[in-house]
Copies of this chain bind each other. A is one copy, B any other.
Amino acid sequence: MEKKYVIGMDYGSDSARGVLVDANSGSIIATAVCNYPRWTQGLYCVPAENQYRQHPQDYIDAFESVIKEMLSSASDVDVNNIVGISFDTTGSTPALTDENGVPLALLPEYAENPNAMFILWKDHTAIVESDEINELARSWHTDYTRFCGGIYSPEWVWAKTMHVLREDPSLCDAAHSWIEMCDWLPALLAGKVKPTEVVRSRCASGHKALWHESWGGLPPVDFFEKLEPMLVKLYGNLYKDTYTSDYCVGKLSEEWATRLGLTTNVSVGVGAFDCHMGAVGAGIEPNTLVKVIGTSTCDIVISPYDEIGENLIPGICGQVDGSVVPGMVGLEAGQSAFGDIYAWFRRMLSWPLQQLLNQPEYASLDGKLIEDLQDKMIAALTEEAKLLPQNDVVATDWFNGRRTPDANHGVRGSISGMTLATSAPEIFKSLVEATAFGSKAIADRLIENGVKIDSVVALGGISRKSDFVMQTLANVFNMNIKVSAADQACALGAAMFAAVAAGIHPDVEAAQKAMGQGFDAVYQPDASQVEFYQRLYARYKELCEKTENF
């Protein structure tokens, strides 16, 4: 039998990454990355206002670059045997589109207008609008937020599209619909971008757009009319049905086949969010908590419908049938800062080094030497922290607000229990413990609401870089933590979905079995630390309670 290949595309916050994979064995044949060119220059963003926008052309440019680089480095692969492509992306990352489904920023008149671009997941400009959605949802006969944790986030599509329409009413004429990045890329490749033709992702719709089968799709139009009349026109060009990512949107269009050097025999799969496909790539199974750990975390669990039933789990980021693996309820949660907290501490400790660099009397100093030290700082803190005895310094992990359990952008980070003898490595240790405690608080919320969790799988940068963090996590959870061997679990997950959409494997489980890469580390709880961490976790919970409304 001739080998078949699939492409998994992973669109992160800063870059797009592709993997070209042997669809039967899972072997990675080629991989390539491309930073978004405009984004890299800092265009269209106002960090002080938490405005983060990405130009749709960035996604196209990165895509073409990645595909061409992979194909050229895999010159012995016959392009006729490349049969599938699927996308995972950040989200909710939506853009307004015109009547043809074209993101407005691709039209010349809006090419430089940030409100016409994709609004990146971490953009926080729509806080007012999310408050309004929450208020209206509370007073409506049906609370449409109940399957996405009961609190609508400013990071999600309805708040964001409301916000840009209000900011920029001049867009109202041109705007006919909106689209999530994870739906736009497959639609573009399959030539189905018109609002009526777009195949919408169950994952994005269910977790971010208030879509649910029980109320027949999106909430009814009168809800949105009451919220913001400008939404009504868009609503008319949206959707009722959604699709899981094993579904094929269509074949690669002639235009794109030519442009990329592929064939029209490529099946394009339905997109989903990065962590959802990442969880599949990392080997998610029922009742496994998969944590994608980087600057922040995304936590995914899948649970059979007959186990979770009608249980509503409050304060998470949604529970959506089929959002991860078809046939299972996908539960999403996450911490709004994880590695970012360590980076914050490094930044603070770097203040004197920056002073060194900035003062004229130190001009003779080799700047590289200082930068080098900054680069090594977290590793150095880690080495010291490992040697420290148990102590009572405790912190919360709310330096970027709290995503789950119970979204609250207003909560703040605290560190307590310090003395004049408290050292920088001790504070670092307390911050590592705080991030582990935040993880446990999420798991506890799920368990308290009937979700079984019997193992934890970690992926993402920190899971591979810091054995100290992972060991702390194992001690705090008192559970084995397995680290996925997949270097690029999200892209690999997308490739698995592509293989299913292309019919190589009958379902996601079969694709995982054939293409999975297993685990390359298992952290076991250190029995001598478990009891201590139970006590310290109780202190963490107490500090959380004390500072929650502070």
Give the residues in chain B near A412, CB-CB below 8 Å.
392, 416-419
Give the residues in chain B near A420, CB-CB below 8 Å.
337, 340-341, 343-344, 399-400
Question: In the bound complex, do residue A344 and residue B399 qualify as a contact, i.e. CB atoms below 8 Å apart?
Answer: no
Question: In the bound complex, do residue B352 and residue A377 qualify as a contact, i.e. CB atoms below 8 Å apart?
Answer: yes
* Min C-beta distance of A475 to chain B, whole Å: 22
28 residue pairs bridging A and B, Cβ less than 8 Å apart: A344-B420, A347-B423, A348-B422, A348-B423, A348-B427, A349-B349, A350-B352, A351-B425, A352-B352, A352-B373, A352-B374, A355-B380, A365-B369, A399-B419, A399-B422, A400-B419, A400-B420, A412-B416, A412-B419, A413-B418, A414-B416, A415-B416, A415-B418, A416-B416, A416-B547, A416-B550, A542-B550, A543-B550
Which residue of chain B lies nearest to A416 when distances are taken between CB atoms in the complex? B414
Q: How far is the CA of A418 from the CA of B543 in the complex (A)?
A: 14
Q: How far is the CA of A539 from the CA of B350 in the complex (A)?
A: 29
A320-358 residues with Cβ-Cβ distance < 8 A to B are 337, 340-341, 343-344, 347-353, 355-356
Which residue of chain B lies nearest to A393 when distances are taken between CB atoms in the complex? B412
Q: How far is the CA of A292 from the CA of B221 in the complex (A)?
A: 69
Q: How far is the CA of A94 from the CA of B447 in the complex (A)?
A: 59
Q: How far is the CA of A26 from the CA of B344 in the complex (A)?
A: 54
Question: In the bound complex, do residue B417 and residue A550 qualify as a contact, i.e. CB atoms below 8 Å apart?
Answer: yes
**Of B369, B374, B418, B543, which one neighbours A362 at CB under 8 angstroms?**
B369
**Residue with the highest number of chain B CB atoms closer than 10 Å, among A350, A351, A417, A542:** A351
Q: Is A465 an interface position by the 8 A CB rule?
A: no
* Min C-beta distance of A535 to chain B, whole Å: 13
Q: Is A546 an interface position by the 8 A CB rule?
A: yes
Dominant SS among interface residues on chain A: helix
Q: Is A510 an interface position by the 8 A CB rule?
A: no
How many A residues touch the partner, as a band?
A: 35 or more
Given contacts A399-B419, A399-B420, 16 further A-B contacts (CB under 8 A): A343-B420, A344-B420, A348-B422, A348-B424, A349-B351, A351-B423, A351-B424, A351-B425, A352-B353, A392-B412, A412-B419, A413-B417, A413-B418, A414-B414, A414-B417, A543-B550
Q: How far is the CA of A51 from the CA of B392 in the complex (A)?
A: 22
Q: Footprint of B on A, CB under 8 Å?
A: 337, 340-341, 343-344, 347-353, 355-356, 362, 365, 369, 373-374, 377, 380, 392, 399-400, 412-420, 422-425, 427, 539, 542-543, 546-547, 550
Q: How far is the CA of A539 from the CA of B549 in the complex (A)?
A: 11
- Copies in the assembly, this chain: 2
Q: How far is the CA of A550 from the CA of B418 in the complex (A)?
A: 12
* Min C-beta distance of A110 to chain B, whole Å: 31
**Residue with the highest number of chain B CB atoms closer than 10 Å, among A352, A419, A543:** A352
Question: In the bound complex, do residue B539 and residue A546 qualify as a contact, i.e. CB atoms below 8 Å apart?
Answer: no
Question: In the bound complex, do residue B423 and residue A419 qualify as a contact, i.e. CB atoms below 8 Å apart?
Answer: no
Q: How far is the CA of A374 from the CA of B351 in the complex (A)?
A: 12
**Of B373, B413, B419, B542, which one neighbours A413 at CB under 8 angstroms?**
B419
Question: In the bound complex, do residue B355 and residue A352 qualify as a contact, i.e. CB atoms below 8 Å apart?
Answer: no
Nearest 4 CB-CB pairings of A with B: A351-B424, A414-B416, A413-B418, A546-B546
* Min C-beta distance of A113 to chain B, whole Å: 27
Question: In the bound complex, do residue A344 and residue B422 qualify as a contact, i.e. CB atoms below 8 Å apart?
Answer: yes
Question: In the bound complex, do residue A415 and residue B415 qualify as a contact, i.e. CB atoms below 8 Å apart?
Answer: yes
Q: How far is the CA of A270 from the CA of B412 in the complex (A)?
A: 54
Q: How far is the CA of A341 from the CA of B348 in the complex (A)?
A: 17
Q: How far is the CA of A350 from the CA of B373 in the complex (A)?
A: 13
Give the residues in chain B near A422, CB-CB below 8 Å.
344, 348, 399, 413
Give the residues in chain B near A380, CB-CB below 8 Å.
355
Q: How far is the CA of A352 from the CA of B428 in the complex (A)?
A: 13
Give the residues in chain B near A373, CB-CB below 8 Å.
352, 355-356, 362
Q: How far is the CA of A306 from the CA of B337 in the complex (A)?
A: 60
Which residue of chain B lies nearest to A336 when distances are taken between CB atoms in the complex? B420
Give the residues in chain B near A414, CB-CB below 8 Å.
414-418
Q: How far is the CA of A352 from the CA of B399 in the complex (A)?
A: 22
* Min C-beta distance of A127 to chain B, whole Å: 15
Q: How far is the CA of A400 from the CA of B348 in the complex (A)?
A: 23
Q: How far is the CA of A543 from the CA of B414 in the complex (A)?
A: 11
* Min C-beta distance of A532 to chain B, whole Å: 17
Question: In the bound complex, do residue B546 and residue A547 qualify as a contact, i.e. CB atoms below 8 Å apart?
Answer: yes
Give the residues in chain B near A539, CB-CB below 8 Å.
550
* Min C-beta distance of A523 to chain B, whole Å: 27
Q: How far is the CA of A419 from the CA of B402 in the complex (A)?
A: 11
* Min C-beta distance of A208 to chain B, whole Å: 23
